Amino acid sequence: MGPLVSQRYLSTYRPGWLLPIRDLTELVEHRDLLSLLITKELKIKYKGTTLGFMWSLLNPLLMMVVYTAIFSVIARFPLQQYPIYLLSGLLPWTAFAAAVTGATLSIILNGHLVRRVKFPNQFLPITSVAAGLVNLIPSLGILLVFVPAFGRSLGWPLLALPLLLLLQAVFTAGIALILSAVTVYFRDLEHLIGILVTVWFFATPIIYPLGTFSGHRVLGTLLLLNPMTWLISGYQAVWYYDRWPEAWQLLALAGTGVALWVVGALVFGRLQRRFAEEV
């Protein structure tokens, strides 16, 4: 049994900014780690529960029932088949929120690994993002059943789904990288993140239609500048309105996502150097 790898593993550790490009090759080399971490995350999430993975379907359904019950009594939005509208935004949002909160804690919760083994730590927040998406995809099956059941039509715009998922992944990963690294130094974020995500939820047209604040100049504009509005509107276009997502929203989302990823990689690379001491 000869050595697996030879001298091509030449690493130099120096102070300073780590080049994101070197991290990329590291990510490729460790690709089996990612699948293992995702399996682990999902296993742990449903460990000991009777219904297991079914919870990722049940949860949004129960939320849908609650919100529908509330909003058909308190505030009536001018929307036909409100549960469909709600679900089409709520499902991707749940994946996003779970990924962001999970990523925030990911480095700290895996401190024992970070302290003892050298591996690309980026995989920890990225695992949270991937696990969120792995949960999201089968739950979209609910819509596939519900939309026709509520008498609404589905069509070609469904083909935009893979693109929406990809954009969601990139955008979420950028945020996850930044939050996970910053939390190591600023632990208060761990407690703040819950309230931030809640605020963001209400600042995104998920339970109400986009036009709700069009009369209000500031709120209306803010709503349109929210990247999650672009993403969620895309899903709503596909599932609820049966039309193609707005091109400008997708482009803006792609731009924001890539920018966030680059910033995230830099911030993470910089802060990573002291993880082992801080966690």
Partner 1 sequence: MLVRRSLGEWQELWALRDVTFSVRAGETLGIIGENGSGKSTTLKLLAGILAPDRGSIEIAGRVSSLLELGAGFQGEYTGRENIYLYGVLLGLRRHQIEQRFDDIVAFSELGSMIEYPVKNYSSGMYMRLGFAVAVHLDPDILLIDEVLAVGDAHFQQKCFEYLEGLRAAGRTIVLVSHDLESVRRFCERAIWIDHGRVSADGPPEQTIQSYLDATARRPVRAPGEDYEVPGFGRLTGDVRITSVRLLGNQGETRSLSPQDRLTLEIGYTSDVSSGVGVQVNVFRNDGTHCTDANSYDEGVPLRLKRGSGSVRLTFPRLGLNTGTYDISIGIFDPAAHRFHDFHERRYPFTVRGGHAVVSIDHTWDLEVGAGKRAG
Q: Write down the residue that tokens 């080399």 correspond to.
A: 29
- Which is closer to partner 1, CB of 151 or CB of 188? 188
- Residues of this chain that bind partner 1 (CB under 8 A): 1, 3-7, 9-15, 26, 29-30, 32-33, 36, 40, 44, 47, 112-119, 273-274, 276-277
- Which is closer to partner 1, CB of 10 or CB of 195? 10
Reference 123, options 115, 131, 133; nearest CA is 131
Query: Taking the complex as a whole, how short is the minimal distance between the CB of residue 212 and partner 1, in angstroms?
Result: 45
Element (H, E) at 231: helix 227-236
Query: Taking the complex as a whole, how short is the minimal distance between the CB of residue 25 and partner 1, in angstroms?
Result: 11
- Which is closer to partner 1, CB of 38 or CB of 99? 38
Q: Write down the residue that tokens 């998922």 correspond to.
A: 165
How would DSSP label each residue in 182-230?
HHHH-TTHHHHHHHHHHHHHHTSTTSS-GGGGTTSHHHHHHHHH-HHHH
- Which is closer to partner 1, CB of 227 or CB of 269? 269
Amino acid at 39: T
Amino acid at 200: W
- Which is closer to partner 1, CB of 47 or CB of 191? 47
Is 205 within 8 Å of 229 (Cβ atoms)? yes
Query: Taking the complex as a whole, how short is the minimal distance between the CB of residue 109 and partner 1, in angstroms?
Result: 11
- Which is closer to partner 1, CB of 135 or CB of 272? 272
Query: Taking the complex as a whole, how short is the minimal distance between the CB of residue 157 and partner 1, in angstroms?
Result: 39
- Rounded to whole angstroms, the Cα distance separating 274 from 49 reads 37
Query: Taking the complex as a whole, how short is the minimal distance between the CB of residue 179 and partner 1, in angstroms?
Result: 21
- Rounded to whole angstroms, the Cα distance separating 226 from 84 reads 22
Query: Taking the complex as a whole, how short is the minimal distance between the CB of residue 20 and partner 1, in angstroms?
Result: 16
Axis-axis angle for helices 161-185, 227-236 (nearest 10): 150
- Which is closer to partner 1, CB of 116 or CB of 217? 116
Sign of CA dihedral 162, 233, 181, 130: negative
Region class of 177: left (phi > 0), else alpha (psi between -120 and 50), else beta: alpha
Query: Taking the complex as a whole, how short is the minimal distance between the CB of residue 30 and partner 1, in angstroms?
Result: 5
Amino acid at 130: A
